[in-house]
Amino acid sequence: MGPDLCGRTFRFGALILVLIVPLGASAQEASPDLALMLETFPTATRFGPATGTPPVYEAYGSDPSTGQEVLLGYLFLTSDWPPELKGYTSTIKTLVGMDLTGEITGARVIEYYESLRSSRGDFLRGNAFERQFAGKDVRDAFRIRRDLFTISGATITAAVVARGIRNAARRVAMAHLSGPGGEITPEEFEKLAWPDLVMRGFGERLQGSQNGILQIELHLVPITDEAMGRVLLGTSYDRALRRLGARADGRPLWMVGLDGPLAGLFRANTFTIERASDTLRFARADIALAGEPRSGKVSVQFRNVGLIAMDPSFDPTEKFTWHLDFGGRFPAYSLEHQGEPEVVVSAAPTPTPPIIVPAPVVEKPLPAAPPVTLPDDVPVTAESTEVPVVEAVPVFDPIPLDFADESEETVLQRTLETTSWVRFASLVFVLVLASAAFFAKVTPLRWAALAATLIILGFGGSGFLSVSHITAGIKVGPGVFLEDLPLLLLVVFTIVTTLLWGRVFCGFLCPFGALQDFMEQIVPKKLRQKVPHTGHESALFLKYGVLGVILVPAMMGSEISIFQYFEPFGTVFFFSRSTVLWVIAGAILIASAIIPRFYCRYLCPLGASLALASLLSPFRIKRVKQCAVCAVCEHSCPTGAIQRESIDFKECVRCNVCETRLNERAGVCRHDLEKVTQLIQIKRGRHYRHQHFPTLESVSGD
């Protein structure tokens, strides 16, 4: 690839970016208004100002028995109660209503940048999926395909919306529907899940907000013995204990759970204890973090958990203040400890002294900040411009919340619970059929595999890969694939086969590639055109420029989605409602009808990424001595990757067209010698053939 060609490719990519970005940058955000708020909380007649940090918006209505205006519940944004979960592409902001019993009154998605939206339209809002959350209780697990139905082809996004609503609602419930603290017996401690314990006033929470959005949350619990530590932290307890080493000997231990966007900034030098006379500072070795917990009562409740080894002189019965300071980059946060007795836990089933829970602590006021999105006060009618001061009288009595169903949930359990086994079995069938066709080198079997790919993975919606999966991995991380078992299987299969044999996915498992192959069989040969070799070699690099145009903004954190303008997959197989996308897809289909595998050759960004990976493949197509003069494979190759004995392996889609004609055991060419003779005669002329291949003449009878 020469300098001039590189320059032309990058200039082409820049031009495409300039033309496409305005289309991809169209607003996907909708600001909530009164109508949206009423849809979310239909029984409300007025919404009060935001209260608390993070903010909630009080929903008021009439008590049917007295006619008095009372507090019905709360309205809140999931983005105000992080950590926000990322979907297939980015976070999803949802407006949620919840009454005083913990029941969801409604949920409306107000902002999201999921890449699927570009081809499927606004698939999250205004449909049955969004409306099904009304009536759900925060006690529910919100499991896709068990408690809730999903959106076909958008399982990851649907699951993240459900868990985001559940997690935010539970945080609001713990903050605003909590009953008074009190004694917790050992039996209750063993039975209750972590959110229930928090509802009962268990431990101490230091919360820090900025601009009305929760930035960090620390949950601090004194650990009385190993039994309590293992019940709470599971395997994370032993991991943290090993990291503390001798530092833990003879020192009081406290659990610390970290959550929120700033959790990663927590260090020993940012955390202190301030007493009346002095300040206790922590050395680096005093705090041992064990990562996200996967077992125990705090499983998947925090981003990070660990143990703090207190100074031996520390007395938890004294009053002191927890202090968190990131050094001026963010506000300092403080929490007063009231000097209550330590929590005492015994794992023994026999009667033991009760757990003494500290009385609710009071957080020092943080600087007030106006709401970011919602208005402070939204009257239902124009006449209600003055907001009356009304004492909040609950219509319903708050009841204890039971979250035990989620206390031991792991990523694997959640994935297995949400998996469509019909879709999984269909994918396994296609993978087995494609593998058999690839290794058997039998042409009818290959066409059967392509038909299964087109019908099941394409139009059947069982799943296909896209360059958007690469951008999702960049933006969200590889963990995004753990939410969808069939997708994970397809990703792993594609990576393994590409690294070993090359672009097997392109030849057997790409529905759009299969569609092009079937078109080649249907379209009359007289309509086909061959791209001149020079033009073909230059145009091959277009797809690498397209790949760069898509990946660079994703790596820079841009929410702009432009891949849909280069990938017709979603347009064709999801039946997009976009006229622009159908015009682009139609043009690509017409070009592919004239030039075999036109899209795979010159435009496919996913193919470009797999082509680069295939450079590492050790098991490539073998050539024999006849290939130096035979042009049959060269003329039959659908991607133009063969030139006599040379194969541009990164452009090869492992379609078996050339390999089915080789007898590897004998090491000779399987091509019909008469056909080879005719091709040589056409290409080289009779004199050349007579001079160099006299034996072929005698065999062909010429």
303-338 pLDDT tens trace = 899 999 998 887 777 888 888 888 776 778 887 776
Average pLDDT of the chain to the nearest whole number: 76
- B/e letters for 562-575, b = 16+ CB within 10 Å, e = fewer, are bbbbbbbbbbbbbe
What average pLDDT score do residues 198-206 get?
A: 79
What average pLDDT score do residues 265-272 get?
A: 89
The strand pair at 253-259 and 69-77 is best described as unpaired
Q: What is the largest CA-CA distance in the chain?
A: 110
More confident residue, 537 or 632: 537
Residue 600 three-state SS: helix
> How many whole angstroms separate alpha carbon 456 and alpha carbon 423?
9
User: Can you read off the two tokens belonging to residue 3?
Assistant: 């300098």
Check: CB of residue 54 under 8 Å from CB of residue 128.
no
Strand partners, 148: 144
Strand ranges for 269-383 from DSSP E: 271-274, 279-281, 287-289, 304-309, 320-324, 333-337, 378-379
Q: Find where tokens 């007395």 sit.
A: 315
Q: Find where tokens 């268990």 sit.
A: 202
Is residue 156 pLDDT above 70, yes or no?
yes
CA distances from 620 to 339, 435, 436, 443, 641 (A): 72, 16, 18, 19, 13
Please state the φ and ψ torsions of residue 292, each to the nearest 5 degrees: -65, 125
Residue whose C-alpha is closest to residue 120's, from 93, 70, 157, 85: 157
Provide the pLDDT for residue 119. 60
Tell me whether residue 365 is exposed, middle or buried, using C-beta atoms within 10 angstroms of its C-beta: 0 to 12, 13 to 18, 19 or more.
exposed
Check: CB of residue 95 under 8 Å from CB of residue 169.
no
Helix count and strand count (H, E) for the chain: 26, 19
Provide the pLDDT for residue 30. 40
> How many whole angstroms separate alpha carbon 451 and alpha carbon 513?
11
User: Mutual orientation of helices 467-475 and 605-614 as an angle, nearest 10°?
Assistant: 80
Please state the φ and ψ torsions of residue 150, each to the nearest 5 degrees: -105, -175
Between 17-26, 51-60, 186-195, the lowest mean confidence (pLDDT) is in 17-26
> How many whole angstroms separate alpha carbon 122 and alpha carbon 126?
8
User: Can you read off the two tokens belonging to residue 81?
Assistant: 């109660």
Provide the pLDDT for residue 662. 61
Is residue 463 pLDDT above 80, yes or no?
no
> How many whole angstroms separate alpha carbon 296 and alpha carbon 402?
16
pLDDT band at 145 (very low <50, low <70, confident <90, very high): confident
> How many whole angstroms separate alpha carbon 258 and alpha carbon 83?
10
Check: CB of residue 483 under 8 Å from CB of residue 157.
no
Is residue 116 pLDDT above 50, yes or no?
yes
Cis peptide before 83 (omega within 30 of 0): yes
Provide the pLDDT for residue 312. 84
What average pLDDT score do residues 385-412 get?
A: 42
Q: Which residues contact residue 304 at a Cβ distance below 8 angstroms, ignoring those fewer than 6 apart?
A: 257, 258, 263, 264, 266, 289, 290, 291, 292
Residue whose C-alpha is closest to residue 102's, from 45, 21, 172: 172
> How many whole angstroms separate alpha carbon 643 and alpha carbon 161?
51
Is residue 621 pLDDT above 90, yes or no?
no
Q: What is the pTM of this model?
A: 0.53
pLDDT band at 382 (very low <50, low <70, confident <90, very high): very low
pLDDT in tens, 534-565: 888 888 889 999 999 888 887 887 767 778 88
User: Can you read off the two tokens belonging to residue 483?
Assistant: 């939410």
Check: CB of residue 437 under 8 Å from CB of residue 656.
yes
Strand partners, 29: 111
Element holding 20 (H helix, E strand): helix 3-24
> How many whole angstroms separate alpha carbon 483 and alpha carbon 158?
10
What average pLDDT score do residues 623-651 get?
A: 79
Provide the pLDDT for residue 340. 54
Is residue 249 pLDDT above 50, yes or no?
yes
Is residue 433 pLDDT above 70, yes or no?
yes
More confident residue, 613 or 399: 613
What average pLDDT score do residues 30-43 get?
A: 79
pLDDT band at 675 (very low <50, low <70, confident <90, very high): low
pLDDT in tens, 329-362: 677 888 777 665 434 444 343 333 443 333 333 3
Most confident of the following: 9-13, 252-256, 292-296 = 252-256
